[in-house]
Structure 1
Amino acid sequence: MELSNIQWGIAVLTIAALFLGRMVWVGIRNKSIRNFQGTHTSQEVPSYYLQISIYGLAAILLAALAVLLVHQEFGPLYSVGLALALFPLLWLWVHLWDLPSYLLKGIIRVFNLKISLPKLPSKKSVEQLTEVEEEQPADSPVTEEEPAPFTVEDWFQAADALISHATGQPHSSLFPHNSGPISWIAARRHFRREWEVKSKRDFQEIQDWLFQIGHRREFHEQMEFIMNMDTQELQQYLEDVDAGKFGLDTLQEQAEEKHRVEMVRTNQDGIRYQSFLAWDYLRYIHNYKLGVAAGFASEDEALNRMRSAGQVLQNRYGSWAELGKNYLDARQFWSSVEMEKGGEKWWKAYHSLTKDPASIWNQSPWPFRLIEIEEQAE
């Protein structure tokens, strides 16, 4: 079946419409990210305008090709060849200013060079430095800059430190922005993989569950069930677990259930007196940190909800070390198999935070007023 020029033109025009739609989607997505994560200038997110211009130019070129195809009687093969030629030009135009960087990286790799390039100061930092030099007389003594006051965000950054350290996530700030280390795509991928969350509604349901119920209700009911069994009943229960009853179909689930029984029977790590609040609420705080990056919550909303969890943690535990120890004990109860595979990195993060004098835990006060957030604007 041979297509007419008009049919070919419609096909190319359809592709142009797809590029135009992509351009609009990128614009809406980036605008929503900036609204969620704070106001940014175009210099901080140059990829936003770059992507808009890429897809817009592609749509214009393809639309022009469709018009030429219909009105100038170009043949289909010629038109397809012209379209294929346009795409390398588009790619070259997109990466034109990246070529020097690519060439430099190639030279470094080929010759195994170790080059440390100096970081140039931004225009804003230069202007600030100039103002300070103008205001300060030449003979005035050099004074040390006073440390910034400790804030509510700093407290929750410390609360999130254990999970961020152990999972290898950046923890230089509580809420990463567009120019920060955690991207919108990575945060969304995390929620889909770990929580099966695909929308803001899913996210809020998970957060409400963690705050109001969490694993702690299930764990307490399970411990009560185990402690109320006599020796014969417990032996029969373990045999049923090995047989795959109670929905425990996999060997991992059976191993974890038997480990929980052993932990409760021996009161390992004082598990019988565990509230499991650290387990649920530290994940709650961490989810809000990533939820801002994913566009599921604003910074103000996240911080307000974190404060409620933070107050509960302060009332329940007496220090960062106690909070972290209870979290790890609960994680052991949740999945002994996961802790056997990756427990070393969790305990390494814990010991680093507790023993390093420069760690965020040792630099952050445990008792701190979390109610007033208006003071942070001063």
Structure 2
Amino acid sequence: MGLWRWRRRGAKASRRYPVPLTMHQLWMVSLSAPVSRDRGVSRTTLYPFARIDGDGARRWLAEQWEITTREQLVGRLDGLSRSGYRARAYRLTGVAPLAWDAALYVDIARRGFACGLIDESDAWTALKNIVPRVVGTYGSWSEYADHYLLGRQVWRDGLRGGEDSSGLPASQSVADAHLQALLDPANRASPWNMAPWDAISHPDRTR
């Protein structure tokens, strides 16, 4: 029984969700690409991992965001959509980096889908809800990346000022290198190259 369950959890996500994303769907998923640095993630599917790992998604949401129910997930998404961390960033810098909150928003929605707190339809609805604000704020993936890094820096500085800063996340230089790789036009694996910024403003199509 235990071995069978391990195999099921480790199955390739593409086998359970084989339909490729449309251009608009890939664009929406790609909003969370800056957050997705870990090995085993998927940046080109709604499911956030290359292999099925609902337990991992559930643990991460509980430990990082104190999300264990659908209601808590929806509430957190609503908070990120309305103000998020950009309110504090604006007080400190005069700039409200929506990209940081949008990336977290999409990442949380995808993980919520992965562990069953929301279904696939609800996940896509959540992603669609953030699109108009993002499109109205930025004109390129490069602009989006710049604001993501700004928001992350303010957030990380806030952690550094806490009582226990021993568990700080990756340095800003690591995040910057990841963003540069996503923006590199020669990087054929980058979802930002697969779904250019202006793709969301044109009729959707299959890939």
TM-score normalised by length of structure 2: 0.75
Distance in 2 of aligned mates of 1:300 and 1:161 = 21
Which runs of structure 2 are paired with 1:22-41 in the superposition (5 Å)? Answer: none
Contact map agreement 2:113 2:119 (CA 8 A) in 1: yes
The correspondence for 2:59, drawn from 189, 192, 202, is 189
Aligned-partner residue type, residue 158 of structure 1: S
List gaps (5 residues or longer) in structure 1: 1-22, 27-45, 52-147, 224-270
The correspondence for 2:75, drawn from 193, 196, 205, is 205
Give the secondary-structure state (helix, strand or coil) at the position aligned to 2:35: helix
Distance in 2 of aligned mates of 1:319 and 1:288 = 23
Distance in 2 of aligned mates of 1:209 and 1:188 = 20
Contact map agreement 2:41 2:50 (CA 8 A) in 1: no
Q: Measure how far apart 1:151 and its partner are.
A: 2.2
Contact map agreement 2:80 2:101 (CA 8 A) in 1: yes
2:125 counterpart of 1:304: yes
Distance in 2 of aligned mates of 1:297 and 1:368 = 27
Q: Measure how far apart 1:342 and its partner are.
A: 2.4
2:61 counterpart of 1:159: no
Contact map agreement 1:276 1:330 (CA 8 A) in 2: yes
Q: 1:371 to 1:282 in 2, by over 3 A?
A: farther
2:167 counterpart of 1:346: no
| Structure 1 residue runs of 4 or more that deviate by more than 6 Å after TM superposition | 370-373
Q: Which residue of 1 is the match for residue 149 of structure 2?
A: 328
Contact map agreement 1:210 1:280 (CA 8 A) in 2: yes
Alignment deviations for residues 89-135 of structure 1 (CA, whole Å, 9 cap, x no partner): xxxxxxxxxxxxxxxxxxxxxxxxxxxxxxxxxxxxxxxxxxxxxxx
Q: Which residue of 2 is the match for residue 76 of structure 1?
A: none
Q: Measure how far apart 1:173 and its partner are.
A: 3.5
Distance in 2 of aligned mates of 1:309 and 1:363 = 20
- The higher-RCO structure (CA 8 Å, 6+ apart) is 2
Q: Measure how far apart 1:304 and its partner are.
A: 1.5
Aligned-partner residue type, residue 4 of structure 2: S
Q: 1:371 to 1:352 in 2, by over 3 A?
A: closer
Contact map agreement 1:156 1:174 (CA 8 A) in 2: no
Contact map agreement 2:23 2:195 (CA 8 A) in 1: no
Q: Which residue of 1 is the match for residue 11 of structure 2?
A: none
Q: 1:151 to 1:364 in 2, by over 3 A?
A: closer
Aligned-partner residue type, residue 352 of structure 1: A
2:41 counterpart of 1:170: yes
Distance in 2 of aligned mates of 1:169 and 1:149 = 19
Alignment deviations for residues 160-184 of structure 1 (CA, whole Å, 9 cap, x no partner): 221113x44512542239x942501
Q: 1:371 to 1:199 in 2, by over 3 A?
A: farther
Q: Measure how far apart 1:298 and its partner are.
A: 1.2
Contact map agreement 2:89 2:96 (CA 8 A) in 1: no
Distance in 1 of aligned mates of 2:4 and 2:25 = 28
Q: 1:164 to 1:182 in 2, by over 3 A?
A: farther
Contact map agreement 2:33 2:103 (CA 8 A) in 1: no
Distance in 2 of aligned mates of 1:155 and 1:315 = 15
The correspondence for 1:314, drawn from 135, 139, 149, is 135
2:189 counterpart of 1:368: no
Give the secondary-structure state (helix, strand or coil) at the position aligned to 1:189: helix
Task: Please identify which structure carries the higher helix content.
Answer: 1
Distance in 2 of aligned mates of 1:348 and 1:281 = 20
Contact map agreement 2:23 2:200 (CA 8 A) in 1: no
Q: Measure how far apart 1:350 and its partner are.
A: 0.7
Give the secondary-structure state (helix, strand or coil) at the position aligned to 1:162: coil
Which runs of structure 2 are paired with 1:11-22 in the superposition (5 Å)? Answer: none
Which runs of structure 2 are paired with 1:138-153 in the superposition (5 Å)? Answer: 150-153=22-25
Q: Measure how far apart 1:370 and its partner are.
A: 6.9
Q: Measure how far apart 1:190 and its partner are.
A: 0.5
Q: What's the % identity of the aligned pairs? A: 22
List gaps (5 residues or longer) in structure 2: 9-19, 161-167
Alignment deviations for residues 41-73 of structure 1 (CA, whole Å, 9 cap, x no partner): xxxxx936x99xxxxxxxxxxxxxxxxxxxxxx
Larger Rg: 1
